[in-house]
Amino acid sequence: MKTANDRTTSSSEPVSIGCQNSWSSHPLMIELNKYAPRLLVTKDDCAGLYRKLDQGDLQYAFCSSISLVRNAEFEMALPVGISVEGTSGLAIWGLSSAQSHLKDIIDQRAKVLREIFRSSQIIKATDLKQALQNAVESLGRLPLPKLDFVPQLRLSTGHSSWGSLSRILYKLIFGCDAYESLLRSPIDTSTPCIDFRVENEALQKRCSYSHLIDLSELWLRITELPFVSSVLQKKRKTCACRSTLSEASELAEMRMQVEPSNYVPDMLPRNCQQQQIDLTSVWKHLSYRLSPEDIRSLQIFLYLAKPLEKKCLADQAFTLSMMRWQQKETALASQLA
């Protein structure tokens, strides 16, 4: 059934919506394009979507979730986005054979972090901010991994939430001092570097590394929650087109899980060894409708990301935003009960 807002929209100008130009968004874009001419779908990278939504060129966009702490004018339009659970291959740390010891350190540290997050009741804490503060204090009392030198990582400070997640995980695993040293020091090209790759490039390049750390899987191991890489966002004054967008995301998610062949392109992408990339195995780890667990994960991510952001919401605005998110989480949970 159409809402009043949808009827108004369909009889006037089409609604513009932006999606990331990536394989993770591919099924969603196919479903959204079926609503043309009511919906006009634009593809772009993370930075392009952010800029177009900010400038008013788009009414809605599946922007990276980190945008929610960078721009006070952005807010969630609907509880839909891209939630990634487990080993998706969409964001990786690539390691060479000479860095095998780092994989062991990361695996051991992830076990410690998981126990700290569990003991702090991160998943179900009523006061999430306090629970995270308790977890950080517990971490500060633990000995750091013994390292001969600070592991180098190609940092990303762009608009991708994966880049923010990469920095969060590096700091949690190797410690604040290692992270600060990484910020101060330029990359030494004479020593091996943790290679960070995301989305299509990650799927293509993963076969070129001796060892892989899948970041969505690592986040799941530590928090026991999926990672929300993007959220459908709007600027505060944007009109609504709620039922159409919700319907498209629901159809894309169901068909992606049950009938993924609907979305497989005639020419499959290939990796660096010219092997076909199995997109259906990637899509099995994705959801487009956000659950209460997704909202909780998103809150944890934003709390941990805020101290690392140079441009971020003021403390009061951020606190208010997090309170709204907690209300959304509670509302979604009551709807599903």
SS3 state at 159:
coil
Segments of the chain with pLDDT less than 70: 1-12, 157, 237-242, 325, 329, 332-337
Query: Measured between alpha carbons, how far is residue 184 from residues 14, 177, 178, 187 in Å?
Result: 48, 11, 10, 10
Could you read off the pLDDT of 206-247 as tens digits, one per residue? 888 999 999 999 999 999 999 999 999 998 765 556 677 788
How many angstroms separate the CA atoms of 33 and 72, rounded?
29
DSSP-assigned letters across all residues of 68-106: GGT-TTEEEEEEEEEEE-S--SSEEEEE-GGGHHHHHHH
b/e string for 107-123 if b means 16 or more Cβ within 10 A? Answer: eebbebbbebbeebebb
Predicted TM-score (pTM) of this structure: 0.86
Residues 63 and 184 in one domain: no
Residues 173 and 211 in one domain: yes
* CATH number for 30: 3.40.190.10
The confidence score (pLDDT) of residue 21 equals 92
Residues 125 and 217 in one domain: yes
- Provide the sign of the torsion angle of the four alpha carbons 87, 91, 93, 95, taken in this order: positive
SS3 state at 114:
helix
DSSP state of 285: T
The confidence score (pLDDT) of residue 225 equals 96
The confidence score (pLDDT) of residue 3 equals 44
The confidence score (pLDDT) of residue 196 equals 92
Residues 213 and 245 in one domain: no
The confidence score (pLDDT) of residue 240 equals 58
- The residue segments making up the domain with residue 186 are 91-223
The confidence score (pLDDT) of residue 61 equals 95
Taking residue 175's Cβ as centre, other Cβ atoms within 10 Å add up to 20
Could you read off the pLDDT of 42-83 as tens digits, one per residue? 999 999 999 999 999 999 999 999 999 888 888 888 889 999
